Amino acid sequence: QYERMLAQLAGEQRMPRTWENGALKLVPITDWTTGFFPGSLWYLFEATDDATWRDAARTYTARLEEVKRNRRTHDVGFILFCSYGNGWRLMREPAYREVLLEGAASLSTRYNPAVGGIKSWNGQKQWAFPVIVDNLMNLELLTWAARESGDLNFHNIAVTHASTTLRNHFRDDGSSYHVLNYDPETGHVLGRHTHQGAADESAWARGQAWGPYGYTMMHRET
């Protein structure tokens, strides 16, 4: 499947995201899914020790370097840690480490101490300071950066965000809200909503999965 994908991507600068209506959907590097393809290539190299996968992983990882400066989304963790994170883990190239550390610094700029959380999206006029449960998946970049750099601010932001989410995102039955809207000045919860689920009070399946993944990872990291 990945050999076919690479062949179809020849000469294309965008990244693969999914199939829609029988056609390959491609997206710019700012899309939240773009780290997954190079991350999968790194896993294939790890499993096979075949330099073909290593070289492809390097090529598609390198395309995402500019994301390290993106301060407009929480998905920097998704994009960079799947790609550069696996590349660093397997290759130990210093340039990969530097990209990850700069990306962690960019992600940290979205943290609001009054809220105790990292803002998820910009440009959502209906919400003052939206925090989505998906955001838990991006905290691993910060805990890694704390270990690598010795800057505990990264670690403290990750732990505080996870604690705030645990306190406010979950119902008594263990299901989770998708979006919490906070007052950025006081940190008070202004509302609990959904963006992709069936209704505000529903349990959106993919969002529900981010919780167990995120807290299993944070348990390990702490």
Residues annotated as catalytic (active site), given as ranges: 75, 134
Among 140, 193, 132, CA closest to 165: 132
**Contact present, 191 and 201 (Cβ < 8 Å):** no
Answer whether 137's CB lies under 8 Å from 210's CB. Answer: yes
- The two three-digit tokens of residue 8, written as one number: 């179809």
What six digits make up the tokens of 36? 């997954």
Listed residue (157, 64, 152) closest to 110, CA to CA: 157
Beta strands in the chain (DSSP E): 15-20, 23-27, 111-112, 117-118, 130-132, 179-182, 189-193
CA angle 25, 136, 107 (to 5 degrees): 80
